[in-house]
Amino acid sequence: MMHYSNWLIDVKNRASLRNACKTPPNTDWNNRGDVVDLQNNNPQSNEKTSERTVTTLLWKKGYKIIKKIGEGTFSEVVKTQSLKDGKFYACKTMKQTINSLEQANNLREVQAMKRLSPHANIIQLHELIFDKETGTVSLICELMEMNIYEYIQGRKTPLPDQTVKHYMYQLCKSLEHMHSCGIFHRDVKPENILIKQNVLKLGDFGSCRSVYSKPPHTEYISTRWYRAPECLLTDGYYSLKMDIWSAGCVFFEIMSLNPLFPGGNELDQVAKIHDVLGTPDQSLLQKFKQSRAMHFNFPPKKGTGISRLIPNCPAPALSLLYQMLAYDQDERITAETALRHTYFREVRMAEKKAETLHRVSGTMDGIGSSVMHNSFEHIWRPTRLGKQLRGRHTRQTPLMSHNMKHVADPLIRRNVPHYPAELPKINMVIPGPQISFPVSTMPAFSVTHRGTLPAITSKKCQSQLAKPRDESHRAAFKTCYMPPLDRKHGGL
């Protein structure tokens, strides 16, 4: 263990030397290097902006400071109110000095927020304020109620499973959006996950990097308790999967209200991971050793397992948690796959139902309900009338019912939108050419009409069964033509 401690000290020294020798990179996203990390690693060289200066600056830009929300090593956050519209915002003022507005716009955090916006689970940047005289940069962002750490701090009872599921689903959606945009966060922790009622949003993108940037990256970037094994055991050879590990640690903390791996230092952090997950295979350790100047060996240890720490955890949640906390980053689940996990099945179904209702309501907004009702009534009416006409004389007459007060007009005459619905076909008989046949073959019938067609008088005819015996007898019968039926009221 002493050998491992000396190795960590040596790594820190080499990392500090490497950062000190770095030159300021260009403004390209993929090749800018760690200029922000270098400035963040030397906070003592940055002068702290006085409260009076920030207040004066924001007042000139139309914002009034309400109260101080929080303060970190590299920034200070206050609640502000716009003097223009009266809305409240969160103002994050950087403690580092910026030389120009162009440099302020090229800050990694600013570029990331612009690229990721808009998204329902990403903090949105409202305005960037730069003071040329003092070199101060302030980011006006949307205001949330609290972060996850403040939400679970001091709780006596665990959160409901549905609440945990809802928050984790939104966190995975924010990570999936970030990774699909080519950015990974590198500092996912409860303090950087903000909530407002039932909405969760990921914030603080000062440590994010491009997924296309080549390692080695900064080694000590994320908060220790949420740092992935590849960040602890390599010289900065990690990828976007480190965000999934951090999200898994947050997942456990939301469910149990306690941190999963609260290491006191890097060595203790690795030991706490091994206490729960066990020592990894030698093949995996060999992958880590390839990027280390010094070798390390861990005594074999079988972990206690996560299920013993949260015995009441549902099986689907435990399954997702183990996949997010896979020791090997190549076997760790992605954010996109995590969203399709069985654990989120109910949330996905509810989200899909809500989207369907939103599309339907959006369609109904452009059309009045009365017009919509009349339109569908007009489409369905021919079907009902067609059923009424079956068994009667099929003729080309207006689709009219004496029990109705109105006549259904053609669709062309209606001033309503057309719908892609096919009307049912009504079998209508069109009069054909005149065909001669003996009157005697026609059966007697009588039809009572309601004034739409002239009545047809019946004639006495010989039964069809009584056939003539010879040609002379056949000739005695008269031959007549069936006249075509006259159209009334102009047809359809």
Q: In angstroms, rounded to a whole number, what is the distance separating the alpha carbons of residues 157 and 316?
A: 21
Residues 267 and 234 in one domain: yes
Query: 247 is written with which tokens?
Result: 């999200």
336 and 208: one domain?
Answer: yes
Domain membership flag for residue 440: no
CB-based contact 343:248 (threshold 8 Å): no
491 inside domain: no
Q: Please check whether residues 250 and 167 belong to one and the same domain.
A: yes
Same domain, 223 and 93: no
Distance CA 238, CA 229 (A): 9
Q: Which domain holds residue 116?
A: 55-142
| One-letter-per-residue 3-state SS of 21-82 | CCCCCCCCCCCCCCHHHHHHCCHHHCCCCCHHHHHHHHHHCCEEEEEEEEECCCEEEEEEEE
Give me the pLDDT at residue 236, please.
86
Assess whether 153 and 119 both reside in one domain.
Answer: no
49 occurs within a structural domain: no
* Structural domain includes residue 189: yes
Q: List the one residue out of 186, 244, 232, 195 whose CA is nearest residue 213.
A: 186
Same domain, 98 and 174: no
Q: Smallest Cα–Cα separation from 384: which of 369, 366, 399?
A: 399
In this prediction, residue 430 carries a pLDDT of 53
Residue 490 has a CB neighbour count (10 Å cut-off) of 8
Question: Based on the domain organization, do 169 and 318 belong to the same domain?
Answer: yes
Reply yes or no on whether 187 is catalytic. yes
Quick one: 68 and 125 in the same domain? Answer: yes
* Listed residue (301, 333, 349) closest to 172, CA to CA: 333
Distance CA 125, CA 89 (A): 10
458 inside domain: no
Active-site choice (34, 37, 131, 187): 187
**Among 96, 123, 142, residue at a domain's last position:** 142
User: Per residue in 171-199, pLDDT tens?
Assistant: 999 999 999 999 999 999 999 999 998 99
pTM to 2 decimals?
0.65
Answer yes or no: is 81 within a domain.
yes
Residues 301, 328 within the same domain: yes
Whether residue 295 contacts residue 233, with contact meaning beta carbons closer than 8 Å, is answered with: no
The ranges of the chain with pLDDT < 50 are 1-2, 4, 9, 11-49, 369-423, 426, 436-441, 445, 447, 465-466, 492
How far, in Å, CA of 375 to CA of 418, rounded?
Answer: 8
Q: What is the pLDDT of residue 482?
A: 62
What is Dmax (Cα atoms) for the chain? 133
378 found inside a domain: no
Task: Report residue 413 CA to chain centroid gap.
Answer: 43
Domain total of the chain: 2
CATH number of the domain that residue 83 is part of: 3.30.200.20
> CB–CB of 92/138 below 8 Å?
yes
Give me the CATH number covering residue 312: 1.10.510.10
Tokens 């599921």 label which residue?
165
Specify if 360 maps to a domain: no
Tokens 């066990």 label which residue? 278
Is position 289 annotated in a ligand binding site?
no
254 and 164 Cβ atoms separated by less than 8 Å = yes
Residues 133 and 182 in one domain: no
107 lies in the same domain as 180: no
Residue where a domain terminates, one of 318, 348, 378? 348
Token pair 């006409």 is found at 389
Kindly state whether residues 294 and 306 are assigned to the same domain. yes
> How far lies 303's CA from each of 273, 274, 287, 312, in Å?
8, 6, 21, 19
Residue ending a domain, choose from 295, 320, 348: 348
